[in-house]
Amino acid sequence: MSWTTFHCENPDFKVRSIPDDTTFAVRRAALQGSEVFKDMFALCDPTAALDSGQDDLELHERSGDLETLLLLLHSPPAPPTKLPSADKFRSTAYDPVTVIPLPLLLALFFPLADKYMLADAITRELRAHLVANAPAHALEVYSFAARHGMEAEAARASQFVRPVASYRFAEITVLPDVVAYHKLVRLQDFRVKALRGLLLAEDIFPHGYGECPSHGGETSAWWDRQRKALVGRIETVTDVAGEMDALTDTLRDCKICHKACVAAVEMLAYKCKKLPKRLDQLPNVY
């Protein structure tokens, strides 16, 4: 899929790149999606014909950048396609073929949208593509959104950011300021504490329910050793239930103990998935 190739059907106007002396046939109506062009047209002759050569719009933009701008105005990008998921707690995944690559968004699309004051309908789609890049480029997306006041997009990207201590200094400097950094620290601190609390509170035989009469004490001890070994290694992205699930195979020889372990792991997974993952989900008191 090409994100920068432009072609216009039924043009009625021309725009020329001064640096490259390249002319593009366009539609006036489409250019109205830019406040800058709208103001320019207010000073132009609205009856100028396509072939007259009069009042063609000349811009000091490289032809490649201008072509991308015209594409945005004539054919705004469709929203990225969401992939189906049976897990309501799982973050939305997108078909990568339908997502504008992050380098294009940051270096070209957003600067053009800002420079030419593109309509909200266009910038809204660009923001959707920005968020769709977050799972693979969490820190970059979060930083860009935070720097440009996109609070909703920054919050959605925050759930994918790795523990801040795991980033190299050269990587973490992409953050715009100490406030953006501190917000991540608060979110990750909350999640680590909450995950630890859930793990330590989850028993394999809660209140003795379903306890195996033959191996109950031994199984409880195994569960306790497993969670105590894990609790000190928990990070904001740790799959706590997945780590505890390793104990399930150990208990496979006893149906009662195995069933209890599966149930405990599933309950732990359910509780962990309900924990806040994003900045906008943090409790106000935290």
Tell me how far apart the alpha carbons of residues 230 and 219 are, in angstroms, rounded to a whole number.
17
Task: Count the Cβ atoms, other than its own, within 10 Å of residue 199.
Answer: 22
- Let me know if residue 19 belongs to a domain: yes
Q: Is 34 helix (H, G, I), strand (E, B) or coil?
A: strand
The torsion angles phi and psi of 151, rounded to 5 degrees, stand at: -65, -40
Both 218 and 196 in a single domain?
Answer: yes
Residue 170: inside a domain: yes
pLDDT above 90: residue 42: no
- Owning domain of residue 47: 13-74
> Is 278 inside any structural domain?
no
Residue 50 confidence class, pLDDT cut points 50, 70, 90: very low
Residue 205 and residue 233 in one domain:
yes
Query: Mean pLDDT, to the nearest integer, of 101-107?
Result: 96
Q: What is the pLDDT of residue 40?
A: 82
| Whole-number Å distance between alpha carbons of 262 and 268 | 10
Residue-level pLDDT at 247: 92
**Per-residue confidence band for 49, with pLDDT thresholds at 50, 70 and 90:** very low
Are both 168 and 108 inside the same structural domain?
yes
17 bridge partner residues: 22, 59
Identity (one letter) of the amino acid at 91? S
Model pLDDT for residues 176-200, shown as the tens digit of each residue: 999 999 999 999 999 999 999 999 9
**90 located within any domain:** no
Could you tell me the pLDDT band of residue 72, with boundaries at 50, 70 and 90? very high
- 55 and 128 in a common domain: no
pLDDT > 90? residue 47: no
Helices marked H in 87-215: 102-104, 110-115, 120-132, 138-147, 151-158, 169-172, 178-201
pTM over 0.75: yes
**Residue 168 and residue 197 in one domain:** no
Does residue 3 have a pLDDT over 90? no
Do residue 201 and residue 265 come from a single domain? yes
Tally of domains in the chain: 3
Is 158 within the bounds of a domain?
A: yes
Beta strands in 34-126 (DSSP E): 57-59
**What pLDDT does residue 233 have?**
95
Question: Is residue 167 located within the same domain as residue 200?
Answer: no
3-class secondary-structure state, position 41:
helix
Q: Which two tokens mark 126?
A: 């660009």
Q: Assign 2 a pLDDT band (cuts: 50, 70, 90).
A: confident
Mean pLDDT of 157-177: 96
In the sheet that 13-17 helps form, which strands lie side by side, from edge to edge? 22-26, 13-17, 57-59
Q: In this structure, are 143 and 209 located in the same domain?
A: no
Distance, CA of 83 to CA of 205 (rounded, Å): 37
Inter-residue contact 37 to 44 (CB < 8 Å): no
Q: Are 69 and 31 in contact (CB under 8 A)?
A: no
Answer whether residue 208 is part of any domain: yes
Residue 244 is predicted with a pLDDT of: 95
Asked whether 198 and 223 are in contact (CB, 8 A), the reply is: no
User: Does any domain span residue 82?
Assistant: no
Average pLDDT, the chain: 91
Average the pLDDT over 139-153 and give the result: 97
Number of residues assigned to the chain: 286
Residue 3 lies in a domain: no
Structure tokens at 277: 């993952």
Residue 1: how many other CB atoms lie within 10 Å? 8
Predicted pLDDT at 183: 96
pLDDT digits (tens, 9 = 90+) for 220-259: 999 999 999 999 999 999 999 999 999 999 899 999 999 9
State mean pLDDT over 103-113. Answer: 97
Asked if 176 contacts 143 with a C-beta cutoff of 8 angstroms, the reply is yes
Q: Kindly tell me if the per-residue pLDDT of 10 is higher than 80.
A: yes
Give the pLDDT score at 89.
Answer: 55
Q: How far apart are the two ends of the chain, measured CA to CA in Å?
A: 44
Q: How far is CA 180 from CA 119, 167, 284, in A?
A: 27, 15, 17
